[in-house]
Amino acid sequence: MESRKRSAFQSVPASPEVQRRFRRLGRFMVIYTPVMLLLSFLPIVTEPWLWIKVGVIVVGTIIFGIWVIRFSLWQRDEYWRERGKDPKHPERLGRVDDGHHGANTTEG
């Protein structure tokens, strides 16, 4: 009985693409977080230094946000591809490889 419960909660190994994307996000955070902490706690309060700190924090946050959004959208598209639907229009019936892709074909 206990082995049946355990098998229901076993994790599924991540694909190489998911691992690659997580490694990239992880590397960025390992580098960016100490830099942000260092810049935040340095006791330099001149105005040019404050603008440099704001610029570094804003640029890093934007880069990280874009990577997280792209990862999320890629994950959503993979979810629909696994189910045989077009990731851009999952409500439509049919497979991705049906050859139609919403193209208008007028004959005559």
Reported pTM: 0.60
Number of domains in the chain: 1
Give the range of the structural domain holding residue 38, as residue numbers without chain letter.
Answer: 15-84
Lowest mean pLDDT among 12-26, 58-72, 84-98: 84-98
Lowest mean pLDDT among 7-11, 22-26, 89-93: 7-11
- Distance, in Å, from the CA atom of 2 to the CA atom of 7, rounded to the nearest integer, reads 9
Is residue 106 one of the residues assigned to a domain?
A: no
Is residue 76 one of the residues assigned to a domain?
A: yes
DSSP string, the chain: -HHHHHHHTPPPPPPHHHHHHHHHHHHHHHHHHHHHHHHHH-----HHHHHHHHHHHHHHHHHHHHHHHHHHHHHHHHHHHHTTS-TT-TTS-S-GGGS-TT------
Is residue 102 one of the residues assigned to a domain?
A: no
Is residue 8 one of the residues assigned to a domain?
A: no
Which of the two residues, 36 and 69, has the higher pLDDT score? Answer: 69
Lookup result for tokens 């935040």: 40
- The two structure tokens encoding residue 49: 């230094």
pLDDT at 11: 65
